Amino acid sequence: MLTRDTGQATRDAVYRPRYEILPSIDIRAVFLYHLLMERNYFRAYLKKAPISQALWRGLECRHYKTLPLHRPLLDIGTGDGTFAAIFFAKKVDAGIDRDPRQLRLASKKNVYKSLQQAQANNLPFKDNTFRTVLSNCVIEHVADQQSTFDEIRRVMKKGGRFYFTVPSIYRERYSPFPWLRRLGLGFLCDAINRLLRRVWLERHFYTPAHWQRILKRSRLKLVSHRYYCSKPAYAIYGLFLPTAFLSYLSKKLINSWLPLRFVRRITAPLWDILLRRFYLQDCHKEGAGLLLVSEK
């Protein structure tokens, strides 16, 4: 069952956190710095995944990079290990996933010290074990969020941080195909949003204020939040979504993204140059994705 909080103005009037916004500076300076100095997560992902996923995951990596990730660290929802392999320079202390097939793939990447099959609301770890818990686009799929947050708090050390990303309420307002709304075909946008929710098994779209209340019930404090994936960036995401669906089917059937790896490696630099400005765009008070920082 989909649950959604649409009371943005009322709820956000109650919750006034510190927005974590990168300073607004000349995009040309950012582009040059990114080209010469900063690790390009977008290009790294383009070599391993479809363009839509590369853009979304690359943005998440870019924002996680600005946060303190103290060890020991637990990754909830490892998937096939691609995110950890691209983002982390050192092995992750522990990771869990409920899917044994995904765990086998993650194990082959050799980026985790320990991998275990487990549910997020029943973690196989002792109390007060981790200084950082990270969950990347997992919590929106969880049926029982309260018991999950209770369990995450249990395994966290005092003062530890829990970072997680989820789709924001703006994602469906934007729609992956905004031109349909401009043509007066908003009903098609709504149908596509419902389809995406079913395909990706997403349950929850909340404002930061609502997330704060859920976290508070588990005695976790919401410290700050930030949005990512601007409206133009999400339009680019939607532009390449049809090809991403074909790749998704390929991944399910033959355990390999399409196009083949050697094709992605050849085309990644070109797509990086063409689309990098969307990867570098920062959001202020809205975006398709939401990163939340909470503390025990």
Give how far the C-alpha of residue 275 lies from the chain's centroid of Cα atoms, to the nearest Å: 19
Tell me how far apart the alpha carbons of residues 148 and 47 are, in angstroms, rounded to a whole number.
Answer: 33
| Contact indicator for 108, 79 with CB cutoff of 8 Å | no
| Contact indicator for 227, 293 with CB cutoff of 8 Å | no
What pLDDT is stored for residue 270 in this prediction? 94
For residue 126, with 0-12 CB atoms within 10 Å meaning exposed, 13-18 middle and 19 or more buried, which class applies? Answer: exposed
Rg (CA), the chain: 19
What pLDDT is stored for residue 242 in this prediction? 83
Q: Which residue has the tokens 């649409």?
A: 6
Give how far the C-alpha of residue 167 lies from the chain's centroid of Cα atoms, to the nearest Å: 8
| Contact indicator for 166, 137 with CB cutoff of 8 Å | yes
Tell me how far apart the alpha carbons of residues 50 and 255 are, in angstroms, rounded to a whole number.
Answer: 14
What pLDDT is stored for residue 102 in this prediction? 93
**What's the pTM?**
0.85
Supply 226's token pair: 């930030």
Mean pLDDT of successive 10-residue stretches along the chain, which has 296 residues? 44 47 49 61 92 95 96 97 96 97 94 97 97 96 94 98 96 87 87 86 92 97 96 93 75 63 84 95 92 98
What pLDDT is stored for residue 19 in this prediction? 47
| Domains defined for the chain, CATH in brackets | 3-295 (3.40.50.150)
Rounded to 5 degrees, φ, ψ at 45 are -70, -35
At residue 131, the 3 state secondary structure works out as: strand
- 42-80: b or e for each residue (b if 16 or more CB lie within 10 Å)? bbbbbbbbbbbbbbbbbbbbbbbeebeeeebbbbbbbbb
What pLDDT is stored for residue 181 in this prediction? 84
Supply 92's token pair: 């992750």
Tell me how far apart the alpha carbons of residues 220 and 143 are, in angstroms, rounded to a whole number.
Answer: 19
| Contact indicator for 113, 134 with CB cutoff of 8 Å | no
Tell me how far apart the alpha carbons of residues 77 and 55 are, in angstroms, rounded to a whole number.
Answer: 19
CA nearest to 166, candidates 251, 77, 282: 77
Which residues pair with residue 205 across a beta bridge? Answer: 4
State the distance between the two ends of the chain, measured CA to CA, in whole angstroms.
29
